[in-house]
Every structure is written in C-alpha cells, then in structure tokens.
Amino acid sequence: MTRTGSPAPPARPTSRDVARAAGVSQATVSLVMGDKWRGRVSERTAGAVRDAAEALGYRPNLAARNLRLGRTRTALLVVPSITNEYFARVYTGAARVAGENGFGVVLYPSPEGVGPARDPFGSAQAALDGIIASSMAADALAALADGGLPLVMLDADPAEAGPAATVNLAIADGMRQIARHLLGLGHRPDRIAHLAAGIDTWTFHVRGQALADALGTTPPAERSAVAFEDARHATERLLARPGPRPTALICDDDILAIGACKALRRLGLRVPDDISVTGYDDFALATAVEPELTTVRLPADAVGADGMTALLDTLEGRPVTGVELPVELVVRGSTAAPRQT
C-alpha cells in the first residue's frame, strides 16, 4: 500500500510485454528465455527477444518456471570438511558453473568427515535436484541418495560408484611423480618413508598402493589424523623406529607435511639436508613455510566445475562419462639429494 499522493512503483515487465516489443508470441519468449529455442526459433528472432527483454529490464519468474519443471535448481555438495582449503576450492568451482546455469549450491559437511551423511533437509528429494559428493564412500550417501536423486561422485572409486558419474584426479600418478622425483635425486627405495593419512577412503588407499608400486617395496609408514600436532607425533614415532633413518618422507597431505617438518626441527634435523619432505595438494601454506614445500598440485576448482557440469548433463539427459584430471608435481626447496654418510 502506497502513501496518499505517492507514485505507485513501476509495474514489473512481463513476458507479454517482451512479446509485444519483439513482435513475437509469448510462447516464443518462453522458449528463448528458457534457452530452449535452438531448432525451434531462428537466431535472429532469439536475438530480438533478448534485446527486448534487456531493454525492458525483464527477468523470467524462475520460481514459477521451476515449479512447472518440478525442479528447485539446487544442488547439494557434500564434503568431509568445510575448513579444508581443497574442499573450499571444489565448492568455488561448482558454484561458478552452477551460477552460470541458474543453479544454486548448498554446501554440507558430513559428520566427522566420514559417513553416513545425514539428510539435512529431512527430504532431499523435495529440496534438491541432485547431489555432488566429494571424497566420500558411496555407501555413506545412502540417506541422501535413496530418493533416486542424480548423484555425481568426486574423488571416488569408479568401481563402487554404481550408476553415479565420477570426476577424479590422477591420484596414483601424483604419487608416481613424487617417487620418480626422489629416486632421481638419489634416495634409495628402502630409505623412503610414508606419513599416511589415517582416513579410510579410496583416495588415500590409492596413494599408498601407488607409492608401494612406484618404489617396488612397501615403505615404512605411520598413520596420522590430518592435523599438525598429530602429524608431528606420528613423525616422531616413525623416526624412533630401529634401523637407518629415512632420507625422505612422503606425506599424503600438505598439512601432514608441515607437521612432519615441525617434528624434524624439534629433533634437530634439517629439511632437506637431513630429510627431504613432500606434501600433496599444494595448499597456500606450502609456500608459507621455509623451505617451501615440494608437493602435488591438485586442480580442485576444476574438480568442482566438472562435477557440477556432470550433474547438469545428467539432469538434461545428456550422456556423462567418467573424468580424470591430471595433477602436477611442483618441486620446491623441501627436497634435495640425500647427504652422503
């Protein structure tokens, strides 16, 4: 209700206004604004409709359109942690592609970083169009996927993903690149140790197996939670074992590597003079330490973007195939040739 004498707000332009301005039917406006015009409307007509809509300031009523289509244009991204830099970048890539296509992304952490992931909406079927799950086991998503929602798995075992599309990183190749780098520097396979993430997921199983294959032997290993202090204690336990001290330590994650470097300093050892250290992820902190960390760079933004693209393709009935993105070893100051003893 407006005050007496105050001008009424301008009426919001409708599709009828756009149709009148462009000299077409409302059905044609609906096709063009819904991006369904190809093969049904000429490019010239589509351009005239878009120009008229822009001139009038017209925006389609997405809520009404979604109601007709039976969609919410909302995807759920389930991640083990919302504080981890990798998953923040995955979300950034997914949200960018979603926004370009008129979708929204709800970010939801799985409890304790592992399944089962509870349905945060009570009824995912009613509130979502699909689910993207990053670095989680397929059976952890049963509560979310039981309603038959389209599912895309990121960083997951393709053999266990079932009908879900997968977007993966070349995780095994990253470990092979690290092993080749250290062996090329002169480190012997029996003097290389492994600080493994104590998380029971496919991605970390692959890292351990790929490392053993590349070295030709299973290296001495210690498992740790992905936290600085846990990694420090795990490194101290690893170095306290009898036998020759390792000349290189391969870590499953940059956070583990930083914790390992902290332990080495406390023990009076220098990186890389006494022990070379490698990480995995290339977080921002990899260049915030001294020496800077040799690590594997993961294109997390691209993982999220490709995951959202795969979900959109699934929703539109387009064929979706598994994707594997390459990773890159970034050599910095934390690795060097072993010192002669």
pLDDT in tens, 291-307: 999 999 999 999 999 99
pLDDT at 205: 93
The pLDDT of residue 61 is 54
Range 49-76 average pLDDT: 70
Where residue 35 falls (left for φ over 0; alpha for ψ -120 to 50; beta otherwise) is left
What is the b/e burial string over 22-55, where b = at least 16 CB atoms within 10 angstroms of the residue's CB? Answer: bebeeebbbbbbeeebeeebeeebbebbbebbee
Position 291 scores a pLDDT of 96
Quote the percentage of the chain above a pLDDT of 70.
Answer: 84
Q: Looking at the domain 72-167+300-324, which fold is it?
A: Rossmann fold (3.40.50)
* Alpha-carbon distances of 298 from 174, 269, 280, rounded to whole Å: 9, 29, 8
Higher-pLDDT residue of 126 and 35 is: 35
Confidence class of residue 63 from pLDDT cuts 50, 70 and 90? very low
Contact call for residues 311 and 97 (beta carbons, < 8 A)? no
The CATH superfamily holding the domain 15-60 is lambda repressor-like DNA-binding domains (1.10.260.40)
More confident residue, 66 or 19: 19
Q: What pLDDT score does 40 carry?
A: 79
pLDDT exceeds cutoff 70 at 142: no
Residue type, 175: M
Query: Looking at residue 130, what is its pLDDT?
Result: 87
- What pLDDT band is residue 143 in, cutting at 50, 70 and 90? low
Two domains, one topology: 15-60 and 171-299: no
76 close to 106: Cβ distance less than 8 angstroms = yes
Predicted pLDDT of residue 140? 61
Q: Which residues pair with 248 in a beta bridge?
A: 192, 276
Report the pLDDT value the prediction gives residue 327, as an integer from 0 to 100.
97
Whether 2 shows a pLDDT value over 50: the answer reads no
To the question of domain 171-299 being in CATH 3.40.50.720, the answer is no
Work out the average pLDDT over 206-235.
96
DSSP 229-287: HHHHHHHHHHHTSSSSPPSEEEESSHHHHHHHHHHHHHTT--TTTT-EEE-SB--GGGG
Instruction: Specify the pairing of strand 165-169 against strand 323-325.
Output: parallel
Min mean pLDDT across 42-51, 95-104, 111-120 is at 111-120
- Residue 123 is predicted with a pLDDT of 46
Domain parsing of the chain, residue ranges: 15-60, 72-167+300-324, 171-299
Alpha-helical regions (H) of 23-150: 26-33, 43-56, 62-69, 85-100, 124-127, 142-145
Beta strands 276-278 and 248-251: pairing type?
Answer: parallel
Q: What value does the mean pLDDT of the chain take?
A: 85
Those residues whose C-beta lies under 8 Å from the C-beta of residue 125, and which sit 6 or more positions away, are 147, 148, 149
Instruction: Provide CB contacts within 8 A for 227, sequence distance 6+.
Output: 255, 259
User: pLDDT band at 31, cuts 50/70/90?
Assistant: confident
pTM exceeds cut of 0.85? no
Identify whether the C-beta of residue 268 lies closer than 8 Å to the C-beta of residue 241: no
Contacts of 19 (CB under 8 A, 6+ apart): 25, 26, 28, 29
Distance, CA of 13 to chain centre? 40
Q: Kindly state the tokens that stand for 20.
A: 């009148």
Instruction: Note the pLDDT tens digit of each residue in 150-208.
Output: 889 999 888 887 778 899 999 999 999 999 999 999 999 999 999 999 988 889 999 99
- Quote the pLDDT of residue 64: 45
Least confidently predicted of 153-157, 219-223, 274-278: 153-157
Helix (H, G, I), strand (E, B) or coil at 5: coil
